[in-house]
Amino acid sequence: MGTYLDSILEHHRLVAEADHRPIEALLAEAMHMPGPRGFATALRAQPNLAVIAEIKRRSPSKGDLFADLDPVALAQAYETGGASCLSVLTDSPHFGGSVADLQSARNATSLPVVRKDFTVSDRDVLDTRIMGADCVLLIAAALDEGELIALHERATSIGLDVLVEIHDEAEL
């Protein structure tokens, strides 16, 4: 029996396989986006504790957490409360997130934003930049070493910071 992560990854890999948009066109669009806000810089700027505040509607394991959240109001409250950065879920089928949530939250604050999703392809990375995120999440458990390296390189080549999520020493 697979885990939640396994079924979510299977979904995202199937979506990625069906996506045949030309990489060159996506790359050109990504390169014409306004400059990112500097996710890593914002975290390093904090002398003590840097907080990445999350905008998340639901969880596959816990169900609805805040299904009717207002991403603008929540992002502004996080900024007022001292958050360094925002993390916005864009996975719709499993977490109820959206690109609109990310864009609304980012436009409502001056905070850098990481797109929290299951990034498995070059197109996913390019989409992250095109939607206006400042950072992409790469989950080590979801990628083999070659994929992790290639997606990291793609992200940094288009100006995105990269947040790599690991769960244990072996993934590190």
Would you say residue 99 lies in a domain?
yes
Residue 85's CATH number: 3.20.20.70
β-pairing, 58-59 with 63-64? antiparallel
Q: Which domain holds residue 146?
A: 4-165
Query: Model confidence at 170, in pLDDT bands (50, 70, 90)?
Result: confident
Integer Cα distance of 163 and 23 in angstroms: 23
| Residue 122: predicted pLDDT | 97
Would you say residue 72 lies in a domain?
yes
Would you say residue 9 lies in a domain?
yes
| Residues 151 and 143 sit within 8 Å (Cβ to Cβ) | yes
pLDDT tens for residues 116-156? 999 999 999 999 999 999 999 999 999 999 999 999 999 99
Would you say residue 20 lies in a domain?
yes
Would you say residue 170 lies in a domain?
no
| Residue 161: predicted pLDDT | 98
In our burial notation (b when 16+ CB lie closer than 10 A, e otherwise), range 18-44 reads: eeeeeeeebbeebeeeeebbbbeebbe
Number of domains in the chain: 1
What pTM value is reported for the model? 0.94
Would you say residue 149 lies in a domain?
yes
End-to-end CA distance of the chain: 25
Would you say residue 80 lies in a domain?
yes
For residue 122, which of 10, 33, 18, 27 has the smallest C-alpha distance? 27
Would you say residue 172 lies in a domain?
no
Q: Helix, strand, or coil here: 80?
A: helix
Backbone angles phi, psi at 103, to 5 degrees: -65, -40
pLDDT mean across residues, the chain: 95
For residue 152, which of 109, 130, 119 has the smallest C-alpha distance? 119
Backbone angles phi, psi at 135, to 5 degrees: -150, 150
- Three-class HEC string of 114-158: EEECCCCCHHHHHHHHHCCCCEEEEEHHHCCHHHHHHHHHHHHHC
